[in-house]
Structure 1
């Protein structure tokens, strides 16, 4: 009797996670929303626990990361492909430029938060505010990517 014979009669239920395109859209939305929430929660926690360590200018990284998420996900995939975008002066090329600029803003906010982490908090005793700032921007950037490319089709098309 081999291991293959023992496992022959085991029936596993079908995996609900990968079933259908409409559920994939919902899961991508839920996961990206949770990551966005977790990113802002970490910086709010650090700012409330370590009052005075997180300066007001540090929050601009998160604001620009959020702006990047809005810019990137305001364009539909059909506009980027050129299927549904017929008007305007730039057409699909303009929507691709806007998508690129949105990702540049998001990546710049991650780089700026990394710079603040190493320049402002590497030699101090309390490193959590810098780590929280970096986590906030990294999670917002990942949420933007998951929401943009994790969906099979546009939600409102």
Structure 2
């Protein structure tokens, strides 16, 4: 029997052969549209989309899916959590970049922090000294070409605004 989850439900655990909900996650075994097999979706509570969708093992009868159990659920939670962690790390790496510029006065760290706002995408270019004191910050376009050369030029030109 297939039950739809409503976000207004209390998040009481469910332990059914094709639906398992616990620890902030829901595992749902579904028919795999690509072939004759089955798939499992792992969705973190509050997220609109599954964090992980993958093939699911057939049961002994070779027609129905293997039922979910505690061990499988915990393995799926661990795998889905790792997928989310990797996505977050990739997003962070794409939105936050850092370079060091060596000057006669010492090392200056220049960072670019992209703000992916739908209405006003932009980035902040920031310079800090070795003691982490902010020396300058300017707003630049979100597609600003952040390279060693552009960071060095900004420092050498006294942190003047671009454009």
The TM-score normalised by the length of structure 2 is: 0.24
Q: Which has the higher contact order (CA 8 A, sep 6+)?
A: 1
The TM-score normalised by the length of structure 1 is: 0.25
Q: Indicate the structure with greater helix content.
A: 1
